[in-house]
A and B are shown apart, each in its own frame.
Chain A
């Protein structure tokens, strides 16, 4: 069965090319689109993943970084520090705002960092320093490249002209980049005074240039004692500190990813449906034509004694081989795209996830089965007598 299916398939190379190419492109559409969104998810959670924190403490009811605002009294920092299982804390200020370069505005997460912060700072630096001093900023190197900016050039962040002191890597996404500024600049720009509280185990809190009455931060980043469960520590923080929502890094990142998925869900569904329909149409048509072209042979096999089950198996195997090759082609193209795209656009990353591969494989399987239905019906209705009856006597 396998031999006949394989030989039938490979005998007509043009038909095979159309079949595999069509299915491959359709599956690539599905894989690539999912990879783009998976890449975006990774990019959007990059800060959460790499900030070094095990737990994120936000204003009560705030579960996301994206499209949200969180303000906490700075006194929360010391309260969180006092919770059992907490090793170190570091506050950050955060807003979704614009970086203005030569009159052009670019969406960005603006992170205000205290001096000497060990949590929440850029995790990979291409050039310059990681922690911006007052009057300085660290921006994504992709943004810098886009405008031909270098260390020492200035950009406008939160309305302040800040000098570029460092270029970070892995801090851009399809929608925005991340800019790091001094917490004191952040506070000045937004008339919010940064916390100056300091204490044992608090990273980056000492030596803050700003002192003042109003003490607000956006998030408190927490490092837990080794061996402690971040989820358990987060629960303890919520129980002991009022007015906060504490989530483990995993939960916080999952919430962020869900937000992206929710926003992109409809687009993904539509494109996946289109990909499915295109793949199905191409494969169904080519398998049907291939079966039709060989109906005399199938009729002869029936006359010789082959059962319908055997012939159905041949057709289904042909469809399965086609989609398997199409899937390989689609995956190959997607991986190639994932490799090539960063070379041309630093804002986009394609990530082929195991889940996406599994979903696409199952989709391909469904395509193969559905594509085989019409040819199977064709074979079921094929009268073996037609092999002899072509001449009416």
Chain B
């Protein structure tokens, strides 16, 4: 059964997405193994991502977030269900057609940036444009413009090792944008960044969606990203769950499922934790955490 739970940060469930869909996920499942060893990583998930929308997918470790992101980004084929990009069922395409889809329609931002160490910031961006058929000179020019817009105009000739984490992530963002994709997939984009640069990255992603009309799908544990998300989806056990009814861990602020969470009582009130560590930390200063 499909389990679409489109939930705003304020808890109100959004009925439908009005804008024409760019990415449509219908009843998608991913199973590994068979028989007794079968693992269902993603279970019958449906989702629609509209142009200019920022969708944040959260969930505990092992919930299937990465598997879902891989399927959305045409890096992994679903076992069942369909993924449609502007009317074309990309989940049914042959493997050899997928690189071109990724190259021209998707942009990727990775947790570890994954820049090419031997190339400069400008070359890292330009190479993706040349892969799509752009002439070298034009690709370098476009890369230069994009990096300039992202505040890296003075860092064009710097190798990644000479860039800070935030600068690397901006280069990765420019690389993701260089072929003018419809969708940007970001995998934990703020995980390796400090608070300030993480915040800047979030604002950039929001800008990309709102000013340029591109869709942005983010997989992250970072609660701060909720601030820029149009929708937050909670994935657990391979399915989207309603965040409204989920208690929040008072220590790490992560939504947790009541039945599976670690519980502790304080002052006659139950509290739920994602892990024993959070519970132990809570018990050291319960008044402080309970007041949050």
Residues of chain A having any CB pair with chain B under 8 Å: 3-4, 7-8, 10-11, 294, 296-297, 299-307, 310, 384-385, 387-393
Interface residue ranges of B36-73 to A (CB < 8 Å): 59, 61-67, 69-70, 73
11 example contacts (A-B, Cβ-Cβ < 8 A) are as follows: A4-B116, A7-B118, A297-B117, A301-B116, A303-B110, A304-B175, A305-B100, A305-B132, A310-B131, A385-B70, A391-B111
**Given A302-B99, A388-B110, CB of A11 within 8 Å of CB of B117:** yes
Check A393–B131 contact: CB distance below 8 A: no
- A238 to B69: give the CA distance in the assembly, Å: 88
Check A305–B104 contact: CB distance below 8 A: yes
Residues of B contacting A303 in the complex (Cβ-Cβ under 8 angstroms): 73, 75, 102, 108, 110
Contact with A along B94-117 (1 / 0, CB 8 A): 001001111110101011101011
Check A389–B66 contact: CB distance below 8 A: yes
**Given A303-B108, A388-B69, CB of A8 within 8 Å of CB of B100:** no
Q: Would you call B4 an interface residue if the criterion is a C-beta within 8 Å of the partner chain's C-beta atoms?
A: no
Check B110–A300 contact: CB distance below 8 A: yes
Contact of B75 among A4, A296, A388, A393 (CB under 8 A): A388
Check B75–A384 contact: CB distance below 8 A: yes
| Residue on A nearest B221 in the bound complex, by CB | A393
Contact of B66 among A11, A296, A299, A391 (CB under 8 A): A391
| Residue on A nearest B159 in the bound complex, by CB | A11
Number of chain B residues whose Cβ lies closer than 8 Å to a Cβ of chain A: 38
Q: Would you call B76 an interface residue if the criterion is a C-beta within 8 Å of the partner chain's C-beta atoms?
A: yes
- A390 to B66: give the CA distance in the assembly, Å: 10
B114 shortest CB reach to chain A, Å: 4
Check A393–B103 contact: CB distance below 8 A: no
User: 7 closest A-B pairs (Cβ-Cβ)?
Assistant: A305-B103, A300-B114, A7-B118, A305-B102, A11-B118, A393-B66, A385-B75
**Given A305-B132, A393-B62, CB of A7 within 8 Å of CB of B119:** yes
Interface residue ranges of B260-276 to A (CB < 8 Å): none
B275 shortest CB reach to chain A, Å: 15
A338 shortest CB reach to chain B, Å: 37
How many A-B residue pairs have C-beta atoms within 8 angstroms? Tell me.
90
- A319 to B59: give the CA distance in the assembly, Å: 45
Check B64–A393 contact: CB distance below 8 A: yes
**Given A297-B117, A305-B104, CB of A393 within 8 Å of CB of B99:** no
Contact of B63 among A8, A297, A301, A393 (CB under 8 A): A393
| Residue on A nearest B105 in the bound complex, by CB | A305
Residues of A contacting B131 in the complex (Cβ-Cβ under 8 angstroms): 301, 304-306, 310
- A393 to B127: give the CA distance in the assembly, Å: 31
Residues of B contacting A3 in the complex (Cβ-Cβ under 8 angstroms): 119, 123, 127
Q: Would you call B171 an interface residue if the criterion is a C-beta within 8 Å of the partner chain's C-beta atoms?
A: no
Contact of A4 among B67, B119, B132 (CB under 8 A): B119
- A390 to B70: give the CA distance in the assembly, Å: 12
B135 shortest CB reach to chain A, Å: 13
Residues of A contacting B225 in the complex (Cβ-Cβ under 8 angstroms): none
Residues of B contacting A4 in the complex (Cβ-Cβ under 8 angstroms): 116, 118-119, 127
| Residue on B nearest A388 in the bound complex, by CB | B187
Residues of B contacting A307 in the complex (Cβ-Cβ under 8 angstroms): 96, 99-100
| Residue on B nearest A8 in the bound complex, by CB | B118
Residues of B contacting A389 in the complex (Cβ-Cβ under 8 angstroms): 66, 70
A52 shortest CB reach to chain B, Å: 61
A266 shortest CB reach to chain B, Å: 45
Check B128–A304 contact: CB distance below 8 A: yes
| Residue on B nearest A1 in the bound complex, by CB | B130
Residues of A contacting B100 in the complex (Cβ-Cβ under 8 angstroms): 305, 307
Residues of A contacting B106 in the complex (Cβ-Cβ under 8 angstroms): 305
Residues of A contacting B175 in the complex (Cβ-Cβ under 8 angstroms): 304
Check A297–B70 contact: CB distance below 8 A: no
Residues of A contacting B101 in the complex (Cβ-Cβ under 8 angstroms): 305
A386 shortest CB reach to chain B, Å: 10
A222 shortest CB reach to chain B, Å: 66
- A296 to B76: give the CA distance in the assembly, Å: 17
- Further pairs besides A8-B118, A393-B61: 15, Cβ < 8 Å: A3-B119, A4-B118, A7-B123, A11-B117, A297-B114, A297-B116, A305-B102, A305-B131, A384-B75, A387-B108, A387-B110, A388-B73, A388-B111, A390-B112, A393-B67
